[in-house]
Amino acid sequence: MKKIITVIIFLSGFIFTNQLFSQNQNIKIIDVPQLEELMKPTSSQNITVINFWATWCKPCIKELPYFVEAQAEFPEVDFIYMSLDFEENATRADKFASKKGLNPKGLYLINNLDYNSWIDKVSPEWSGAIPATLLIVDGKKFFYEKEFHEGELTSLIKQKLN
């Protein structure tokens, strides 16, 4: 009986701690309709940059500093970081994004693992490979299925702002 009570107390503490931690996460777990809303142009932002990435994707990790650099250089641009990590790895993705300096207000994880059901909504050109980036400029979409290198993203944003 004593062992059962100890296990119950332990599990209660574990669940409570996980609930507290998950409430403090910056990453927002969303579904496809919410992604579609994020891809709609807004009147308040001239440019929206949506980067599709994952913690397990080496090219994604390699290019993230260029997004953070552009995010600092262009505060008027809305940067959204859409993690394709599994939902059970949301905490890991959140910690990773925080460590890398990604905009916590623009940090999302899409919970739909049936990528073929929604990647065409991002762009019909998208094969599903990451990294991938969608720029929305004055209601027009520009899709890039590639890894950005130093200076490319900032140059592209400057070009789109002019």
Contact 76, 45 (CB under 8 A): yes
Residue 25: what pLDDT?
A: 82
Per the structure, the count of domains in the chain is: 1
Residue 45: what pLDDT?
A: 57
138: left (phi over 0), alpha (psi -120 to 50) or beta: left
Within a domain: residue 9? no
Within a domain: residue 72? yes
Strands (E), 84-139: 107-110, 132-137
Within a domain: residue 7? no
Within a domain: residue 20? no
Residue 157: what pLDDT?
A: 95
Within a domain: residue 5? no
Which residue type occupies 30?
I
CATH number at residue 157: 3.40.30.10
Reported pTM:
0.81
The percentage of the chain sitting over the pLDDT mark of 90, rounded to a whole number, equals: 67
Residue 115: what pLDDT?
A: 83
Low-confidence ranges of the chain (pLDDT < 50): 5-23
Count CB-CB contacts under 10 A for residue 45. Answer: 13
Residue 161: what pLDDT?
A: 86
Within a domain: residue 140? yes
Within a domain: residue 32? yes
- Domain range for 40: 27-161
